[in-house]
Amino acid sequence: MRTPSLYSQDDPISAAMKPPSSESDAERTARLHAEAEAKRVSEEIDEELRQERESMKRTKGDVKLLLLGQAESGKSTLQKQFQLMYKPHSLEQERTSWRTVIYFNVVHSLKHILNVLEAWDDGTEDDIDADDSASMSPLSSRNMMFMSEQPSPSTSLMNSPSGISNGPPGSPPRVDTRVDSPKSMSGTSQIAQLRRKLGPLVAADSQLADRLSGGVTVSGSGKGGVYVRSGWQARAIENALGRVKRNKRSSMGTEKPGRDSVSTDGDEDQLVQEVGRMLEATQDDIKTLWEHQTVKALISRRKLKLDEWSEFFLSHISRIAAPDYIPTVDDILHARIQTMGVAEHIFDVTIHGKAVAWHLYDVGGARGQRHTWVPYFDDANAIIFVAPVSAFDQYLEEDPRTNRIDDSLQLFTQICSNALLKSVHLVLFLNKTDLLKHKLDAGLKVRKYITSFGERSNDYETVVQYFRAHFLQVHRRNNENRRVLYTHFTNVVDTKATQRIIGNVRDSIFRGYLQSAALV
């Protein structure tokens, strides 16, 4: 009896594995290439899965900390303080990359000042009382007008016991750019001359913005104007190093000029250098504009509103315009830029002899960015919610009807009531207390913007405790698990004070981490 073969001639597997006799050399080469490519892709997938398993093992015991809050609340500055405290060498490596950001901050501030001056026809009115609502800038007078109307019951917390007022429903009032009084011809002509001199520098605003953002624009971004992707600092450093290497090769004659030696990285560096040269050449003009009596009058009467970083950099323009300028830590802390999406920063934190990796997530706070937070909620260990208490006289750029304090309270309500975050360690930073003091000392009345403040004393302690009480009330209403809320009054550009607070926060988070890990 004949023994049957292991595989019959009709077996489909055998047929598939046997190369067809009619296969040409080209077909065989193509087939082998396709098989090799399929194998490569399969091995890449296997390696990614292996790395993901290893990563999950490594991060299982890590602390995951979210920085939450509205745009311009101070989250990214707080992240820099963590970096300065736990990974200072990385901030040192990034110093030069922040020069582009600071140059953009200066140029953008100058553009804003000149735009407001143009709206007022380069003049100001001498006989307007500083507290009169008519003294508000055409670009910001809507703030006072909002308070004269009833807030929207559907969006404002004014009608709830938290008592913070909102703007009214409907569109912002029409901008009125009329000029109501004669101006000093000498002052007006001087500003016109400064405008001409600073024109080329101000024109670099959009180029710097494109360099930082890669041309990306985000709807609902709020003010600030520029979004960058996570890791932009490292890419800027890599670009700079690449340029140095190319220059060395070129000087040694090992790199021939041509199409391959042209790089956009070099173009980017050339732009920054050119802006630096323009700043150096026009620094006296910038000083003259910044110290001009018309600009001072517009600022004092709140016709011109500048952010804290604008005032900081314009006040230090001589240092920033120096040809050998390298940003200081203080400069980096004041620099303003917005990160698109969620940026992860990893620090090794040691306490009581135990080292734990902390994953700190800095999120975009504008309304159009908040949807990116949710995927990070399910495994978060702790949250630092940052609320700027100095923003009582400001409204959202995305929604000019909404007071920023009201927005912070509504956002804090959403965080406290989220089912995924019920057991997460919660810390509240009532931030920008230095700016709050400055506004109160300047005579700004809280009751003009938040009607429920009533006739309370307009001093710092009364105001800050008033805001704190409303945030505590929100937490009490959404605290079924009896979670403790840790509250701090902060000015996160103050390194010494902030790092002391970070130490306290670290200890409290670590205790919660140990308890949740059943280690105590």
Q: What is the dihedral of CA 479, 483, 484, 486, to 10 degrees?
A: -80
Residues of the chain whose pLDDT is less than 50? 7, 16, 56-57, 127-185, 218-224, 240-241, 243-248, 256-267, 518-520
- pLDDT for 308 equals 85
- pLDDT for 31 equals 84
19-59 confidence digits (pLDDT tens): 555 678 888 888 888 888 888 888 888 777 666 555 544 55
- pLDDT for 263 equals 36
Question: For residue 107, which amino acid is it?
Answer: V
419-457 confidence digits (pLDDT tens): 999 989 999 999 999 999 999 999 999 999 999 999 999
CB-based burial label for 432 (10 Å; 0-12, 13-18, 19+)? buried
In this structure, which topology does domain 61-92+342-516 adopt according to CATH? Rossmann fold (3.40.50)
Non-local (6+) Cβ contacts of 446 within 8 A are: 392, 440, 453, 456, 458, 463, 466
- pLDDT for 202 equals 96
**What's the rounded Cα separation, in Å, for the pair 104 and 279?**
11
| pLDDT mean across residues, the chain | 78
First to last CA, the chain: 76
Q: What is the dihedral of CA 393, 399, 405, 410, to 10 degrees?
A: 170
Contact 508, 425 (CB under 8 A): yes
Contact 357, 514 (CB under 8 A): no
- pLDDT for 237 equals 52
Q: Could you tell me the maximum CA-CA distance found in the chain, to the nearest angstrom?
A: 121
| Delimiting residues of CATH 3.40.50.300 domain(s) in the chain | 61-92+342-516
Q: pTM score, two decimals?
A: 0.73
149-182 confidence digits (pLDDT tens): 333 333 344 344 444 444 433 333 333 333 333 3
- pLDDT for 225 equals 57
Count CA within 13 A, CB hemisphere, residue 70: 29
**What's the rounded Cα separation, in Å, for the pair 432 and 493?**
9
Q: Residue 305 phi/psi, 5° resolution?
A: -105, 125
Q: Which residue has the tokens 């899965």?
A: 49
Contact 226, 213 (CB under 8 A): yes
Q: Which long-range contacts (CB under 8 A, 24 or more apart) does 309-313 make?
A: 309/105, 309/109, 309/334, 309/335, 309/336, 310/105, 310/109, 310/112, 313/102, 313/105, 313/106, 313/109
250: its two tokens: 């070129």
